[in-house]
Amino acid sequence: MIVTYSKNAFFPLTRACRNECKYCNFRRGDYTLMSFELVKNLAEMAKRYNCKEALLTFGERPEVYLEFRRNLKELGYDNFIDYVCSVCKICIDFGLIPHTNAGVLYYDEMKKLKPLNGSMGLMLEQAVELECHENSPGKNPRVRIKTIERAGKLKIPFTTGLLLGIGESKYDRFYSLEVLAEINENYGHIQEVIIQPCVVRGVKVVDVKEVKEVVLAAKKFFRHVQIPPNLFTFEEVLYLIKAGANDLGGISPITPDYVNPYNSWPSIDTLKSFLNRNGVVLRERLPIYDEFIIRKMYGELTKQLVIGDKRDA
């Protein structure tokens, strides 16, 4: 049995976010952005550690805040997406393939980012309205579904998924998978679906058996089902692999998981050894899956990195 992962570096470009999700560990009342010097230093370190993916994550629509816009202006930008594009170019120059998680985006914004990314992502979380999102306009499921559909229209390899334990019912979980499956049936661009438990101060809100139920259901619709290895014990990871999970997402040897800061990444070598002893081969992949490389759905400016890394593999 083969299970994949992507060796990455996490670039938290800004913690400012218009959403106020009650469970969020990432959002801060901080309107600063990563300087290009910091981006270059991290990209250089990532390359030394043989990372292939630059995971660009940040709060959604931070430009709604005046102080953020002032900080953006100081860097020479009137538009946040243009700043993100510049970061993508820096990462590409250092041999890293960007994977941008930008929150809700308009069509023209995604079109601008597409050439600079191997893949992109946005968690659906749930396809129903929930109380925990009452002050989070970007978590309206209709708005998020539109963003996922826009990625499909633009032929962008896309990562999405569900967040479990945020007030949804079991029916909501399976309904949400059906919504994603219908989108993918129309566009064929969803390369993986993440099944992720909500974690509060390092503790999972849902039991691993509940996660297994959703993994089993997701496997009926999607070829690649991902679970985050830092949110489970090694034994639980193996348990979920046996249920159908076949990808462990990004694992970084140099940066923490800023979304789940209480949960450290496992050592890749230690995890690989454990899984191998239990009949599972852990294999590194790019942030764009092989079948999407064959379909030439990578961003044009990442082409040489994608093709070159694939050839080396």
We report the CATH number of the domain holding residue 65 as 3.20.20.70
Give burial (CB, 10 Å; 0-12/13-18/19+) of 222: buried
pLDDT tens-place values along the chain, 313 residues long: 999 999 999 999 999 999 999 899 899 989 999 999 999 999 999 999 999 999 999 999 999 999 999 999 999 999 999 999 999 999 999 999 999 999 999 999 999 999 999 999 999 999 999 999 999 999 999 999 999 999 999 999 999 999 999 999 999 999 999 999 999 999 999 999 999 999 988 888 899 999 999 999 999 999 999 999 999 999 999 999 999 999 999 999 999 999 999 999 999 999 999 999 999 999 999 999 999 999 999 889 899 899 876 544 4
CB 16 within 8 A of CB 63: no
pLDDT score, position 307: 87
Distances (CA, A) of 199 to 90, 205, 207: 32, 6, 11
Taking CA 170 as the corner, what is the angle to CA 164 and CA 174, rounded to the nearest 5 degrees? 85
Whether the CB-CB separation of 61 and 103 falls below 8 Å is answered with: yes
Which structural domain, as residue segments, surrounds residue 150? 2-312
Q: What is the pLDDT of residue 309?
A: 67
Residue 172, Cα to own-chain centre: how many angstroms?
22
How much is the pTM? 0.95
Please tell me the distance from the alpha carbon of residue 60 to that of residue 43, in angstroms, as a whole number.
23
pLDDT in tens, 254-305: 999 999 999 999 999 999 999 999 999 999 999 999 999 999 998 898 998 9
Q: Are 91 and 133 in contact (CB under 8 A)?
A: no
The pLDDT, as a whole number, for residue 313 is 47
Contact 25, 261 (CB under 8 A): yes
| Pairing mode of beta strands 281-284, 2-12 | parallel
- Please count the structural domains in the chain: 1
